[in-house]
Amino acid sequence: MGQPTLLKRSIAELIGTYILVFLGTGSVVITVLLFQGGEGPPGNDFFVGIGMAGWWAISIAFGIAVVAMIYTFGHISGTHINPAVTIGLWSTGRFPTMEAVWYIVAQFIGASLASMTIVLILGDRAVDTGLGATAPFAGVSYWQAIVAEIVATFFLMLTIMGSAVDSRAPAGFAGLSIGLVVAGDIIVFGNITGSSLNPARTFGPYLSETLFGGDNLWEKFPIYVIGPIVGAILAAWIYDYVAGTRNAD
């Protein structure tokens, strides 16, 4: 059987990103709705309505989505489901420019459709929660948020390089290792930047919030473009240097 066409691979990326954003940001929406009416510890500005139990639930939802999509579409499209990952691989010469463009467009469409579906199912109350949109939390500056996204995405891309891209990696474990690092990132970085790691994952909720009369957060969007892309490129190049991946492949 030959390699799937670019169109089919792009559709796989669209569906994979749709499921990632629907399950991931959907878990944020449900968590916030369940918490409504509750109160955090007095004087604790770091507590914004999602406690550690909530972040664990959200991290598991994102992690499960990533694991499932890698095992579902990994053999078809590679399951990037993230423009930063696509750009990271493109920067090392592993991915043709035109195919990267198709993938990125598909990822943004999938993320946008996922957020719109959440609104279709839950209505205005989903919009009122912010639809899982990412933004820096209390006490986190713009540049600190960018650094946080660089670091978090670096961890993600490094795991992708070592478990999925490097041909010497043990077979069959990429999905699990990548899903676990996504979950770990969210537990640590969730209450700092929302732990996006993914420009499309942030774009979908932002677009739906705008379309359905929610918050306008577009001034924060560069954080979730610059941070993930820089983190992914750094990880890809550093892994290649340290592991000698080019020679191995």
For residue range 31-89, what is the model confidence (pLDDT) as tens digits?
999 877 556 556 665 555 677 888 899 999 999 999 999 999 999 999 999 999 999 99
pTM for the complete prediction? 0.93
Of residues 245 and 148, the one with the higher pLDDT is 148
3-state secondary structure of 14: helix
102 pLDDT exceeds 60? yes
Domains for the chain: give ranges and CATH numbers. 6-248 (1.20.1080.10)
188 burial level (CB within 10 Å; 0-12, 13-18, 19+):
middle
Q: Work out the percent of the chain whose per-residue pLDDT is above 90.
A: 84
Tokens of 96: 């043709």
Quote the pLDDT of residue 18. Answer: 98
Quote the pLDDT of residue 34. Answer: 86
How do residues 115-149 score in pLDDT, each as one tens digit? Answer: 999 999 999 999 999 999 999 998 999 999 999 99
Give Cα 146 distance to the centre of its chain: 15
Q: From 87, 114, 115, select the one nearest 18 (Cα to Cα).
A: 114
The mean pLDDT of the chain is 93
Tokens of 81: 């489901």
248 pLDDT exceeds 60? no
Across the chain, which distance is largest between two alpha carbons, in Å? 62
